[in-house]
Amino acid sequence: MTDRMKATARACSNIAFIKYWGKADFDHNIPLNDSVSMTLSDAVTTTTVQWDPELKDDVIYLNSERILDARALRISRYLDRIRDQYYRMGARVASVNSFPAGTGIASSASGFAALATAAFAAFGEESPDETEMTRWARRGSGSACRSVQAGFVEWKGGTDDASSYSEQLCGPGHWDLRDLVVVLSRKPKTISSSEGHKIAVRHPFMAARQEELPARILSLKGALATRDVATFGEIVEHEAMEVQAIMMSGRPSALYLQPDTIRLIHHLRAWRDDEGVPVWFTLDAGPNLHVLCEGDVAFEVRERLTIVAPDAEILENRPGPAARIVDDHLL
């Protein structure tokens, strides 16, 4: 197979400090609120796209296995959006993750950021500019818009397709903040994020949350700008628990926290409150804990984590790079 109309992209996942939970527009993935995240250096998706005018149906591989289920349908429907504006032709797609999917590490974010980047590059024409590329990634998965850019990113939620995009707040070199993802479970979650967003918009707490968020985001951005880790950590941890409370008290209830998650949270808070270790946490829609600290204490925090969670894999991340084209094709 030749490299004609083929491109490969690599994109990192991201962890949201101010969360995206609940949508105003499900078709275009317009969120109820703005969000702020860090691109994760070592949670990576690599995706190859090859357009083929002779191919009637898309052929999609995930982690070297051809898929024919709802995941494949979601990818094909996303490619249809591109085909509707560009060329009507089939595609071969192959994608691999460096981390477990569907467990709260935002695999759809890195996945659709890589897919969008590769799909446009494979046309061999000028790709959309960075802002427009964040919109294209968002159309596949909301949080994917934040994975297009490097470092610390804000997603401007907007009110429609044109006004919903992300922009970089600070580059990767701004702050040596670490995210140590403690993989406590690799089991896919029972309630998907897509379903969770639908449950969230019906929740009676959401109106009060929307009133609080603008001031919270402003405070977080101030702490990020000055690298005030204590203020930053307190805001991020409170935000995580607020969103988990909405998840747990929804109908149906999305109980992502597991006993090991709670046990580890108690350890982190004891280290901070009783021993003065500057460490905080956040979570996404899954049981795996994102442990946050600065680089100068990362080794100590990691050592402590290996003692209290000896069977868990720990994925250490720094502020990561933007989505980019690479040469090592998967097809």
pLDDT in tens, 117-133: 999 999 987 789 999 99
* Banded model confidence at residue 102, pLDDT cuts 50, 70, 90: low
Instruction: Count the Cβ atoms, other than its own, within 10 Å of residue 138.
Output: 27
pLDDT cut 70: percent of the chain above it:
98
Is 180 within 8 Å of 280 (Cβ atoms)? no
| HSE of 311, CA atoms in CB hemisphere, 13 A | 4
* Banded model confidence at residue 285, pLDDT cuts 50, 70, 90: confident
Query: How high is the pLDDT of residue 297?
Result: 98
The two three-digit tokens of residue 217, written as one number: 């985001």
CA distance 320 to 275: 30
Ranges assigned E (strand) in the chain: 6-18, 23-25, 30-31, 35-52, 59-62, 65-66, 90-97, 152-156, 165-170, 177-183, 280-283, 289-294, 313-317, 324-326
Q: Which amino acid is at 327?
A: D
- Looking at 3.30.230.10, 3.40.30.10, 3.55.30.10, 3.40.50.300, the CATH number of the domain 1-331 comes to 3.30.230.10
Query: How high is the pLDDT of residue 187?
Result: 81
> Cα 268 to chain center, whole Å?
23
Least confident range from 72-81, 189-198, 284-293: namely 189-198
Residue 103: is its pLDDT beyond 70? no
Residue 101: is its pLDDT beyond 80? no
CA distance 16 to 240: 9
Which has more pLDDT, 256 or 193? 256
Residue 32: is its pLDDT beyond 70? yes
Average pLDDT, the chain: 94
SS3 25: strand
For residues 200-216, average pLDDT: 94
For residues 41-59, average pLDDT: 95
CA distance 257 to 259: 7
**R_g of the chain computed on alpha carbons:** 19
Least confident range from 98-112, 148-162, 227-241: namely 98-112
Which residue, chain included where needed, has tokens 């990691």?
A: 302
Query: How high is the pLDDT of residue 55?
Result: 94
Query: How high is the pLDDT of residue 186?
Result: 82
Residue 1: is its pLDDT beyond 50? no
Residue 222: is its pLDDT beyond 70? yes
Cis-peptide into 252, omega within 30 deg:
yes
CA distance 246 to 168: 28
